[in-house]
Chain A
Amino acid sequence: MIIQQLSVFLENRSGRLTEVTEILANNKINISALSIAETADYGVLRMIVDNPEKAIQALKKNDLSVHKTDVIAIITPDTPGALHQVIKHLSEEDINVAYMYGYSHENKASIIMKVNEPNKAIRILQDKKVELLSAGNFYEV
């Protein structure tokens, strides 16, 4: 149930994101999820792609710093309080969320989370019957 997210260090300068998306496009890599965290000087691009190993190779070849990060992905109903329930389960078991990003579409929400103990989080969420996506939903394992 652990999914590998790619994290890329990016300097804050114009055109830098385009360079990364161009590398991925040229290598026919599809992006399924993406978010950027930013500071004044730099940002961290986080994404889930359909071929992580190929993407890492291509990015590294272009002198980018790439890091693989274990994340989990959950599906919740697109209703008020649905996310709250999930977070509550985790917080009751002392799981910390470092960051998350997501969207909702056609009555369902998909959320990607980085937590301090992903395996424990997965067990808790499975016990609570929360729907989880697996790596196979995003790329070939």
Chain B
Amino acid sequence: MIWNPHYECMDREEMRAVQSKRLCDTVDRVYHNVPFYRNKMQQLGLEPGDIKSIDDISKLPFTTKQDLRDNYPFGLFAVPKSEIVRVHASSGTTGKPTVVGYSRKDIGIFSEVVARSLYAAGASRDDIIQVAYGYGLFTGGLGLHYGAEKIGATVIPISGGNTQKQLQLMQDFESTVIACTPSYALYLAEAMDESGISPDSLSLKIGVFGAEPWTEEMRHKIEKNLNIKAYDIYGLSEIMGPGVANDCIYQNGLHIWEDHFIPEIISPDTLTPLEQGQIGELVFTTITKEALPLLRYRTRDLTRLNYDKCQCGRTAVRMEKCTGRSDDMIIIRGVNVFPSQVESVLLEIGETKPHYLLIVERENSLDTLEIWVEVDDYYFSDEIGKLEGLTKKIKHAVESTLGISVKIKLVEPKTIQRSEGKAKRVIDKRNI
């Protein structure tokens, strides 16, 4: 079923006309309401009138995560604070979180795109949706919640974790849809197995999984272990949250709700747009958001776009499942981690060499992070107590910066491979 056939199945020329109109309005609005964008456009010698249609989009300046940090917390908002009805914040960034805001209309659009996403995955008002994403500053829980209510489904707002309770409610309430991270879905499958619950005894039929990258292989595994269909929901809080794009039942690319978010694919090196069908960095311009409109936001996710009409009837452009990044960010248990964050912590403590290696593994479907740190001759102690103290100190500092638990392992000098160019900082042993 299609939630909004008018926009989801719109003819390409008509869609371009809608996008052009909304893009011009957005540019006009940010120019007049957001000093950051006015300065950027003036530096490029651009005036709102220079943007006449979607064809002019590549003239516009880019926006990066750093820009959001530099304008922490509300510097990029385009409406007065009295218009903001909700804020969310992203986890795991250096120092300050990335803050995003929503007007009442934005929350309506957020619900709309999640409603489209749930419909695309085959859910409807007849479903009982167990939202096992975290509720709180993270956009996952509340985002799915509002969309699920919008389609008239029954929502179980259980939030993340508490696995035994998840299983109990899944059985007692006969949940038909589960929304969580793909790694948690696999963890649930294992927990079911241990508790002797057969997936066939459950009513579960659909999974809507996102907030971390996952492969087709992982999809097959989840579908087999839980006996459901597993759909990818894509999103990022800067653009809206989950529901920027979603698989349809044909699982052949995620439909982007492009009457709200214009996608582009650029070369991360030259920053120029790439030809249709080429793999590059995904960039989004929001064209309906009021509180935090963003021009050409660089997602750092690598993918390609397919403009062919889908078997499902939708014309909405499809993006391939993202599995790569144009930066070195890794996502661990839904939290964004940059190796450079670990580096700054080590340099701040200054009692080890600044050589480190992040080892990411998946144990029992949960991601673990081990950080190897080389001991420094000067600070190396013959007393175990002091070395353990140093390990604890690093562990505490890294955990409070990253927001996830880590294991610190001290290693001998020169153990970590040196390289001439870009140092290898991460070994990701998860098969994603």
Report A's interface with B, CB cutoff 8 A: 5, 7, 9-11, 37, 39, 41-42, 44, 46, 60, 63-67, 69, 98-99, 114
Which of B81-89, B187-195, B380-388 has 4 or more CB atoms under 8 Å from chain A?
A: B380-388
Q: Of residues 369 to 409 in B, which have CB atoms within 8 Å of A's CB atoms?
A: 375-377, 380-385, 387-388, 409
> Contacts A9-B375, A67-B377 hold; do A44 and B415 have CB atoms under 8 A apart?
no
* B35 at the binding interface (Cβ < 8 Å): no
Whether A65 lies near B413 (C-beta < 8 A) is yes
- Taking a contact as CB atoms under 8 Å apart, the answer to whether B414 and A44 are in contact is no
Check: B428 CB closer than 8 A to any chain A CB: no
* CB <8 Å contact, B377 and A39: no
A contact residues around B381 at 8 Å (CB): 7, 44, 67
Q: Is the CB of A7 within 8 A of B382?
A: yes
Q: Is B412 an interface residue (CB 8 A)?
A: yes
A11 close to B380 (CB less than 8 A): no
> Contact check: which of B380, B385, B409 meets A9 at CB < 8 Å?
B380
Contact (Cβ within 8 A) A41 B410 = yes
Q: Which of A10, A37, A66 contacts B384 (CB 8 A)?
A: A37
List the A residue with the shortest CB-CB distance to B378.
Answer: A67
In-complex Cβ contact of B412 among A65, A67, A69, A98 (8 A)? A65
- Expressed in whole angstroms, the Cα–Cα distance for A60 and B378 within the complex equals 13
Bound-state CA distance A63–B380 (Å) is 14
CA distance A80 to B375 in the complex (A): 41
Asked if B411 is at the interface of the complex by the 8 Å CB criterion, the answer is yes
Interface residues contributed by chain B, number (CB under 8 Å): 18
Q: Evaluate whether A46 and B382 lie within 8 angstroms (CB atoms) in the complex, with A64-B413, A66-B377 already known.
A: yes
A11 to B409, CA, bound (A): 10
- 8 Å CB contacts to A: which residues of B305-325? none
Output the nearest chain A residue to B381 by Cβ-Cβ distance: A67
Q: Residue on A with the closest CB to B353?
A: A65
Contacts of A99 in B (CB 8 A): 383
Q: Are B414 and A67 in contact (CB under 8 A)?
A: no
Give the nearest-CB partner of A43 in chain B: B384
Question: Are the C-beta atoms of A11 and B383 separated by less than 8 Å?
Answer: no
Please indicate the chain B residues that have their CB under 8 angstroms from the CB of A98 in the complex: 383, 385
B412 touches A11 (CB 8 A): yes
Q: How far is the CB of B96 from chain A (nearest CB, A)?
A: 33
20 A-B pairs with CB atoms under 8 Å apart are A5-B382, A7-B381, A9-B375, A9-B380, A9-B410, A11-B411, A37-B384, A42-B410, A44-B383, A44-B384, A46-B382, A63-B414, A64-B412, A64-B413, A65-B380, A66-B377, A67-B380, A69-B382, A98-B385, A99-B383
